[in-house]
Each structure stands twice: as C-alpha cells, then as structure tokens.
Amino acid sequence: MKAAVLRDGEKTLRVEDVDVDRVGPHELLVQTSAAGLCHSDLNHLHGVFDIPRPSVLGHESAGIVVEVGSEVVDFVAGDHVITCLSTFCGRCERCLSGSSYLCAGSHSVRPPGAGPRLHQSGDEVHQFLNVSSFAERLLVHETAAVRITKDMPLDLAALIGCGVTTGLGAVFHRARVSPGETVAVLGCGGIGLSVVQGARIAGASRIIAVDLQQEKLDAATLVGATDVLRADRCDTAEAIRELTDGGVDHCFEAAGSVATAEAAVESLAVGGTATIVGLIPAGRTFPVQARLLLDDRRVQGAMMGARNFRLAMPKYVDLFLSGRLMLEEMVSSRIGLDSINDGFAAMEAGGSLRDLVVF
Ligand SMILES: [Zn+2]
Ligand SMILES: [Zn+2]
C-alpha cells in the first residue's frame, strides 16, 4: 500500500510503498477513507516531539473494516469505523475509574516477537499514536476504533477521530459548560472551532473566538462565535474582560502555546475555569497569578475529549446528522496523499482550517 513516511533527518513526508502485516487476533484491517491533518502531526514532522523513525504519521481517520482478527467480536468486515489513538485496556485503574482516555495499558502494542504491523521488506516502519492514518490501510488494535452508522459520510467522520472529539469533549465532559455561561476560545484551528461548536450546542450565551488569522475568525463566526478578537490587535485577556464586564466563565486554550495558556487564566471571571486543550510541548511552563485562583478560578486540562471515544464519537455523529454539528464548514481542502506536504505547508502558513486527505 501507499503511505506517507517520515524518515530520519527529514521534515517532509515521502509517499512510499509500505507492507502491512497479517491481521493479529485482536486487530482490525481498515481501508482508509479519509485522514485529517492535525497540528500535532506537524509538530512531530518538525521534531518538536521525538518519535522513532521511519514512521507513518496521521492519527485522525475513518474507513471501512476489511478484515477482523480471530478474537474480535465487536466488528465485522464492512463496518464503518472512526479510529482513535486512545486505545483502552479496560483493566487498569484509569480505565476502571472511567478515564479510559488516559489508559496506562500497553495492550494495544504488539507483543515482543510478533513483528511490526508496518514494514518495508521486513524492516519496521513505526506506527504513530496507535493509528498511522496517512496510509491506504490501517492495521490497528480493536480498541482503536468505534463503529458508526453508515449514514455518516466517511470523509467528514475522519474529523471526529481527533480534533472534533477533543474540542467537543472538553466542553461537554471536562468544563461542563452550562446554558447561559460565557466562553472564550483562544486559537481557532480544528480543535478551537470544535470548542466553539460545543459551546454553541451547550447553550453558551457568549462565545468569544480569538485567533491571529481573519480566515479562522470568519470560520468561527460561521460555526457559532458571537464575538471575534484578533490576537495581534489587542491584549487578549484585557479585551475579553472588557467585552464581558470582568471575564468569562470558561476560557479554552486551543492554540498549544504557553502565552495563550497564561491569557486563558487572566481572562476568567471570578469562579471561572481555564481548560487547556492545545498540545503544549513537555517542559514548557506559564506563570499564574496565585491571587486569581483564590477567587475560585481553576486551571485544568482535557485529553482526547475526556470520555471513552466509543461512547462519545457516535453521539457526535448524531449531532452532525441532526444538523447541529457543522463539519463541512471546517474543511479547507480535500487532497490526495501525494499532496500531503502541500497540506502541511498550508497549515504552517496558518491560513487553513482542516485539510483532509481522501483515498
Ligand atoms: Zn490530533
Ligand atoms: Zn486501561
């Protein structure tokens, strides 16, 4: 099959032939329909995070099950699925306490001696985040997928595989935004636009979207923002406090930077909550005025939508099918696998929303 491979010392992907191993007992072979380009792929491309190479990037995808392993009971060939990096063992403390999106298990990795899932003439090509979406086929552990209704268009379903679920889940399951509350969203890429939509669906009275790019703010308005702020033309926290007479009930950091994380706390009303959703590189810190926390302000994080994706994703599909979740509006372009480097270049330039590789 064709796959986009990241090699040592390189910052672009090469589309190459990669072999897929035989399906293991607890695995699914999926024919990829579409894969979204996520900002964390770009970070890995740039070496912000260290991963073994060569590897096939991509972790936001949907497709059709081609073959199931001998022990798989939850799927059959022909099922439409969304993949997710949050595999879960069902046995560890985190899984059993309802936080399977933080599962500590290593069950989804092949046992030693089993051979790699992806290889080139026997030499391992590493799987990225349990998925490796930028490939014509996905060989994944069965807990890296959820079945969805065949009414759902598979290209748009791919978006639910990471960004949409991360954003909606942060609103619904971590921040728990209530009707009438005020919300600000810092960063309006795929995750930020999903936070805006979550806030709209949850009934927020005011949704202030902040970004450097006008195109992203226009998209935010389209999907539910009531106010927009250009981050390069104002002091973000000050402007949010002014607009809301003292601050918002919820501020979401969706840009993945420590500067926006700091602004998220500074923009809160008394009793407000800042939720960090963007992927900030390990080791980075940001200052917090301790005095602000005394007035019941809180800072928290939210990983992969803060809910088991098998519970969450079918509900998000229903939100789309009932017209409340807007996905087409988040797509900048549909490209072929051969154009994947152009997609990342556009993402780097900052103007694109979500680019989809379609197979
Ligand atoms: Zn992602
Ligand atoms: Zn677990």
> Residue 60 C-alpha to ligand 1 middle, in angstroms?
6
Confidence of residue 47 (pLDDT cuts 50, 70, 90): confident
Query: Domain check: are 73 and 126 in the same one?
Result: yes
Asked if residue 296 is part of any domain, the answer here is yes
Number of domains in the chain: 2
* Rounded average pLDDT over 140-151: 98
CA dist 123 and 338 (Å) reads 23
Mean pLDDT value of segment 281-303: 94
pTM confidence score: 0.96
307 assigned to some structural domain: no
Burial of 284 (0-12, 13-18, 19+ CB in 10 A): exposed
Residue 313 lies in a domain: no
Q: Which ligand is nearest to the CA of 194?
A: 1
Q: Quick one: 68 and 132 in the same domain?
A: yes
Give CA–CA dist 96/105, Å, rounded. Answer: 12
If asked whether residues 154 and 67 sit together in one domain, one would say: yes
pLDDT at residue 107 in the model: 87
Residue type, 77: A
User: How remote is the CA of residue 296 from the centroid of ligand 1, in Å?
Assistant: 31
Place of tokens 């490796």: 132
Please say if the pLDDT value at position 207 is more than 90. Answer: yes
pLDDT confidence of residue 163: 95
Tell me how far the alpha carbon of residue 39 lies from the centroid of ligand 1, in angstroms: 6
Q: Based on the domain organization, do 200 and 145 belong to the same domain?
A: no
pLDDT at 274 over 80: yes
Could you read off the pLDDT of 321-346 as tens digits, one per residue?
Answer: 999 999 999 999 999 999 999 999 99
Confidence category of residue 246, pLDDT binned at 50, 70, 90: very high
Question: Taking residues 244-260, what's their average pLDDT?
Answer: 96
Q: Are residues 154 and 178 in the same domain?
A: no
Q: Residue 184: which pLDDT band, with cuts at 50, 70 and 90?
A: very high
- For 64-108, how does the pLDDT look when each residue is reduced to its tens digit (9 = 90+)? 999 999 999 999 999 999 999 999 999 999 999 999 999 988 888
Ligand number with the minimum distance to the CA of 308: 2
Beta-carbon contacts of 125 under 8 Å, excluding residues fewer than 6 positions away, are 3, 5, 18, 54, 55, 56, 116, 118, 119
- In this predicted structure, what is the pLDDT of residue 216? 95
Question: pLDDT per residue over 33-42, tens digit each?
Answer: 999 998 888 8
Query: For residues 352 and 332, is the Cβ–Cβ distance under 8 A?
Result: yes
The verdict on residue 114 lying in a domain is yes
Query: What letter would DSSP give residue 342?
Result: H
Residues 141, 181, single domain; the answer is no
The CATH number given to whatever domain includes residue 55 is: 3.90.180.10
For residue 143, what pLDDT is reported?
97
Sign of the torsion angle spanned by Cα atoms 117, 305, 99, 290: positive
Category of 335 on φ-ψ map: left (φ > 0), alpha (ψ -120 to 50) or beta = beta
What spacing in Å lies between the alpha carbon of 101 and ligand 2's midpoint?
Answer: 8
Structural tokens at position 228: 């927009």
Residue 59 lies in a domain: yes
Bond into 179 cis (ω within 30): no
Calculate the alpha carbon distances from 29 to 100, 116, 153 in Å.
Answer: 23, 14, 20
Q: Which ligand is nearest to the CA of 90?
A: 2
Enclosing domain of residue 175: 171-301
Residue 185: CATH number of its domain? 3.40.50.720
- Confidence class of residue 43 from pLDDT cuts 50, 70 and 90? confident
pLDDT band at 259 (very low <50, low <70, confident <90, very high): very high
Residue 320 lies in a domain: no
**Residue 308 belongs to a domain:** no
In this structure, the answer to whether residues 120 and 183 fall within a common structural domain is no
Question: Percentage of residues in the chain with pLDDT exceeding 70?
Answer: 100
pLDDT score of 351 more than 80: no
Q: What's the CA-to-centroid distance between 231 and ligand 1, angstroms?
A: 23
Look at residue 93 and give its three-state secondary structure. Answer: helix
